[in-house]
Amino acid sequence: MEKGQPIIALQNISKTYTSERGEFNALNNVSLEIYKGEIYGVIGMSGAGKSTLVRCINYLEKPTSGKIIFDGKDLGALSAKELRNTRQSMSMIFQQFNLLMQRTAEQNVCFPLEIAGVKKIEAKQRAKELLELVGLGDKLDAYPSQLSGGQKQRIAIARALATNPKVLLCDEATSALDPSTTQSILALLKEINEKLGITIVIITHEMKVVEQVCSHVAIIADSKIAEVGTVKEVFTHPQSKVGQQLVYPNGMPDESFMGKRCCRIVFDGSSAYDPALSSMILECQVPVNIMYADMKRVEDMAMGQMVIQLPEDDTLAEKVIQNLRAKNLIVEEVYDYVG
């Protein structure tokens, strides 16, 4: 499939912070391409450089070197005024919502429109529509202090959509919310992506968030990109060490089966709930030991993986693998799994 030009391209972005205590490399030669319509997750541990990365995308932070190309424009080459105009098509939402506390919900949504010079009546009309879209049609006159965290984030989303942006940048947008509110905000983001075709970049430290809504993911660690790919690829075959740590947060490899023959079975969608394992055991007549199992829903598909310990006997082990492969499962042998 021809993807055309990426809507956002980071080309060899580095960012060095200089302070009294010396220099700190928050981003080191990072390159990424994000295409229209994607929900792109950027995941990493605290301090990995995620916020720095997203702030470079809209030039709130000027990269020390490298280029940001947004919608064909090199942001570094724009004048201050052109940059401000460009930012109107690249909205951002934050962990702490950052609403104007002295303005009502409606006035908050009108704010970016005032900045863009939209007429007051039109702005109010648009604010009303957007607040309805995010499910707060009855809270037009409420002040942020009268609303819950989830409701505040909904206002922030409505506000971010006011100027019809092409891209929505979310820096830990659900990190201050409880799990069920997080679910509803993620569902809203997905709906916005599907209905309005807005490309979304989601910064998070939670694999769950990526699994639930993202189509693509970049894993960032120690100021560098460790791994990129579709969520499905990265989730089923994490290549990097950090990737494996994120996919198996409980420190998956167990010392006890190190060195012994194990294999990892990946279930993708179709076969997740088939009794593949039990039929294999019946067919091969061998006992296996389940070392690890984890089933999740990724993008509405049942996904999962399991690690089983193979029989000592090599021919039997081979038989097990062949049997599982014949069931269209992805099976790979695991020797000494990472720690």
Ligand X SMILES: Nc1ncnc2c1ncn2[C@@H]1O[C@H](COP(=O)(O)OP(=O)(O)OP(=O)(O)O)[C@@H](O)[C@H]1O
**Of 77, 33, 34, 72, nearest to 168 (Cα)?**
34
Nearer to ligand X, 51 or 107 (CB): 51
Contact status, residue 130 vs residue 155, Cβ threshold 8 Å: no
285 makes contact with ligand X (CB under 6 A): no
Task: Say which amino acid occupies 329.
Answer: L
Residue 339 partner contact from other proteins, Mg ion, ligand X, none using kind-dependent CB cut-offs of 5 to 8 Å: none
Binding residues for other proteins, how many (CB under 8 A)?
29
92 makes contact with ligand X (CB under 6 A): no
Q: C-alpha angle 171/175/181, rounded to 5°?
A: 115
Nearer to Mg ion, 26 or 127 (CB): 26
Nearer to other proteins, 97 or 257 (CB): 97
Nearer to other proteins, 85 or 125 (CB): 85
What whole-number distance in Å separates Cα of residue 220 and Cα of residue 31? 11
70 makes contact with other proteins (CB under 8 A): no
Q: Kindly report the number of other CB atoms within 10 A of residue 37's CB atom.
A: 14
Binding residues for Mg ion, how many (CB under 5 A)?
1
Nearer to other proteins, 24 or 273 (CB): 24
Q: Which of residues 154-213 bind other proteins (CB under 8 A)?
A: 163, 169
Residue of 103, 237, 241, 296 that binds other proteins (CB under 8 A) = 103
Nearer to other proteins, 23 or 313 (CB): 23
What whole-number distance in Å separates Cα of residue 204 and Cα of residue 166? 20
**Of 179, 102, 172, 180, nearest to 143 (Cα)?**
102
Nearer to Mg ion, 221 or 307 (CB): 221
Site pattern 118..157 for other proteins (x: CB under 8 A): -------------------------x-x------------
Q: C-alpha angle 222/228/231, rounded to 5°?
A: 120
What whole-number distance in Å separates Cα of residue 138 and Cα of residue 57? 34
Residue of 77, 101, 196, 301 that binds other proteins (CB under 8 A) = 101
Q: Which of residues 47-76 bind ligand X (CB under 6 A)?
A: 47-52
For the residues of 5-71, what is the DSSP string, one character each?
Answer: S-SEEEEEEEEEEEETTEEEEEEEEEEEEE-TT-EEEEE--TTSSHHHHHHHHTTSS--SEEEEEET
Q: Is 2 helix (H, G, I), strand (E, B) or coil?
A: coil
Stretch that binds other proteins, among 99-107, 172-180, 201-209, 314-322 (CB under 8 A): 99-107
94 makes contact with other proteins (CB under 8 A): yes
In whole angstroms, how close is the CB of 93 to ligand X at the nearest point?
14
* Tokens describing residue 260: 């012994």
In whole angstroms, how close is the CB of 14 to ligand X at the nearest point?
12
Residues in contact with 221: Cβ distance below 8 Å, sequence separation at least 6, in sequence order: 44, 45, 48, 240, 242
In whole angstroms, how close is the CB of 170 to other proteins at the nearest point?
12
20 makes contact with ligand X (CB under 6 A): no
Q: Is 241 helix (H, G, I), strand (E, B) or coil?
A: helix
Which stretches of the chain bind ligand X, using CB under 6 A? 17, 19, 24, 26, 44, 46-52, 205
Binding site for Mg ion (CB under 5 A): 51
